[in-house]
Structure 1
């Protein structure tokens, strides 16, 4: 029975390490990814040896799989809390909402405004780069000023220079 509990605990540590390592690699954070890879490999080999050498092999395999599934949930929640990196928002507006633009700029967001042709009218697009941990605040602000805005977000992999990088370092994180 203690082996079954140990297998579950190992999976609940192993899988979040695996999840975070993968995310760190995607975000080009090589050193933390390497450290997690080392820990992950140790846990993986140790856990599998318990599963395949124990007398409870069927139950051990089931608990191993259950721990894997729960570990994915835990790893994802940890990554969402860490919110590493940046997000770019493209906000499509029916009018040039000066109040929204000014509010965002006063709160440290870099906002670039584009004017374009929509299907039936002129549209305004705001391009905003923010830290991932500030996404919810930004969305809340956009909804307050422009409830009908069409918002698309994505994670940029690389950027160089510009106004926003200098000011993001100075900006207070809530």
Structure 2
């Protein structure tokens, strides 16, 4: 019975580490990913040795699979809370909503406005790049001012320059003086 509990605990540690390792690798954080990979391999080998040592219990294998499934959910939850990286939103509006644009800028979001031609009329598109941990706040603000806005959110691989990096450059300039 102790082995069964240990297998579950190991899976609940192993799988979130596995999930985070993949995410860090995709985000090109190779050093962090390699450290997590080491821990992942260590836990994986130890867990498998528990399952395949002695008589293979069906219950142990089921607990292993159950721990894997729960671990995936935990890894996703942890990644969502860490919110590493940036997100870019394209918001399509029927009308130019100056109140919304002003509110977003006052909240610290860099907003670029484009005017385009839609099927039936002129459309306005707001383009905003922000850190992922502010995405929910941004969408809630947009929905408060424009409930029928069409919003597309995606994660850019990289960005150079622009509104988000300006404060960093300002800090570096002050240190050089």
TM-score by length of 1: 0.93
Instruction: List 4+ stretches of structure 1 deviating above 3 A.
Output: 167-170
Separation of aligned partners in 1, 2:163 and 2:61: 53
Q: Provide the rounded CA distance (Å) in 1 between the counterparts of 2:96 and 2:39.
A: 51
Residue equivalent to 1:84: 84
- 1:54 and 1:4, CA in 2 relative to 1: closer, same or farther beyond 3 A? farther
* 1: CA distance, partners of 2:169 / 2:66: 41
Number of the residue aligned with 1:116: 116
Distance of 2:80 and 2:124 partners within structure 1: 30
Secondary structure of the corresponding residue to residue 129 of structure 2: strand
Relative distance call for 1:71 and 1:169 in structure 2 (3 A) is farther
Tell me the equivalent position of 1:30: 30
Matched, 1:63 2:63: yes
- Identify the range of structure 1 (15-24 vs 104-113) with the bigger mean alpha-carbon deviation: 104-113
1:95 matched residue in structure 2:
95
For residues 57 and 37 of structure 2, what CA distance do their matches in structure 1 show? 26
Does structure 2 retain, via aligned residues, the 8 Å contact 1:108–1:168? no
Query: How many angstroms apart in 1 are the aligned matches of 2:157 and 2:113?
Result: 22
Q: Kindly report the root-mean-square deviation, in angstroms, between the aligned alpha carbons of the 2 structures.
A: 1.5
Give the superposition deviation at 1:163: 2.2
Query: 1:168 Cα deviation (Å)?
Result: 7.8
In structure 2, the partner of 1:135 is 135
Name structure 1 gaps, 5 residues minimum. none
Q: Which runs of 5+ in 2 are unaligned?
A: 171-177
Q: TM-score, normalised by structure 2?
A: 0.92
